A = this chain, B = another copy of it.
């Protein structure tokens, strides 16, 4: 039995838990700078909190596995990301704040360019801008007529990316992607693999055919390609599994979507990092037990390969952390959903620094918060899935196991 299932049987009432998730915080050494982003950043508050914490490293999803944002967060929240695997279509819809209903079928959409023979020559339609995307989605929405008793939604994500959602009875999502595996090939016909999915495939076919007609006057974005079909079902909530009434503060929609997936209450999006911390202070209190604060910019600056900006973002977060300490939560966790080393300009598999600040933490000798200092911490290096159990334990939320 997976250990995270055992936890559910031990849950009792207890103290408050705050997760500060600094997206993409872990990095690698830049020899020219003489350290990692986190080492170079001036972080007196992170370091001070580390001196009162148990520290360690989390291998968020698994050895060598580079977590996407969805699986990375699921692991941190105690949901085994190899077991809980919402599809890409669902994450796309959650990622634009789309309020999915149980049973909705979602898929990713790419605007693409077909040549005269109908072959895909650019599966990003020359990366059309988001405004063009919005205009084309609206145009399609207004013209398409589908012959079924249900609804369809077509929503812009950004650039060439959009998401389609079908809502109705007896829909299936065991559908083949219509995006061909390589450019130069024709789009694939929608193909359903079971009864419900076959019916759904015929709706999708009609949708795609009409969209193609509607887009026929476009030079670049003259087709849509669909992939990652999935049926939405909310996961067992944080409250049902761990008795936690959770609340999510996140500037970016993807992370609010993850909060929604786990049954958290979603705060209205803060405008920036400062506003995110202020929002936490404002709602902190008895109404919730679990506070999820997500900061995106460390990841974005890592993906942009901007060492200086990543350092600045970390320093900005550092200056705001006293606001969290003033709330005196029973447990404060600071960690990341994955590393985003500036030199790789992408998510990576490298373990992320972790600290658990609590009155009952086994405080170790780690006195600065970074990838190397945390190696010597009392939590060692461990799977991301362990975190929620440790957080609950430090909050006094677990009964003894057995007599």
Contacts and interface: CB of A to CB of B under 8 A. Distances in A.
Nearest to A90: B403
Nearest to A95: B403
Interface stretch (A177-185, A314-322, A357-365): A357-365
19 contacts: A6-B82, A7-B65, A29-B363, A64-B394, A64-B398, A65-B389, A65-B393, A65-B401, A67-B401, A68-B402, A69-B402, A88-B402, A92-B403, A346-B400, A347-B400, A348-B360, A349-B393, A364-B375, A375-B376
Given A3-B82, A6-B82, A66 B401 contact: yes
A230 to B, nearest CB: 11
A19 interface: no
A263 interface: no
A84 to B, nearest CB: 10
Interface residues of A, number: 65
A10 interface: yes
Interface string A355-396: 000001011110000011001101111100010111111100
B363 A400 contact: no
B362 A28 contact: yes
A172 interface: no
A83 interface: yes
Contacts of A282: none
Contacts of A175: none
A350 B371 CA distance: 23
A81 interface: yes
Determine the main DSSP class of A at the interface with B.
loop
A55 to B, nearest CB: 11
A51 to B, nearest CB: 13
A302 interface: no
Contacts of A349: 390, 393, 398
Contacts of A85: 402
A94 to B, nearest CB: 9
B360 A28 contact: yes
One complex includes copies of this chain to the number of 2
A389 B63 CA distance: 6
Nearest to A62: B3
A61 interface: yes
Nearest to A72: B402
A393 B81 CA distance: 18
A389 B383 CA distance: 14
Nearest to A63: B386
Contacts of A325: none
Nearest to A394: B64
A43 to B, nearest CB: 19
Given A3-B63, A6-B65, A64-B386, 20 more contacts: A6-B62, A6-B82, A28-B360, A28-B362, A29-B362, A63-B382, A64-B390, A64-B394, A66-B399, A66-B401, A71-B402, A81-B401, A343-B360, A346-B400, A347-B400, A348-B360, A349-B393, A371-B378, A375-B376, A375-B380
Nearest to A399: B66
Contacts of A66: 393, 398-401
Contacts of A72: 402
A195 to B, nearest CB: 27
A2 to B, nearest CB: 9
A1 interface: yes
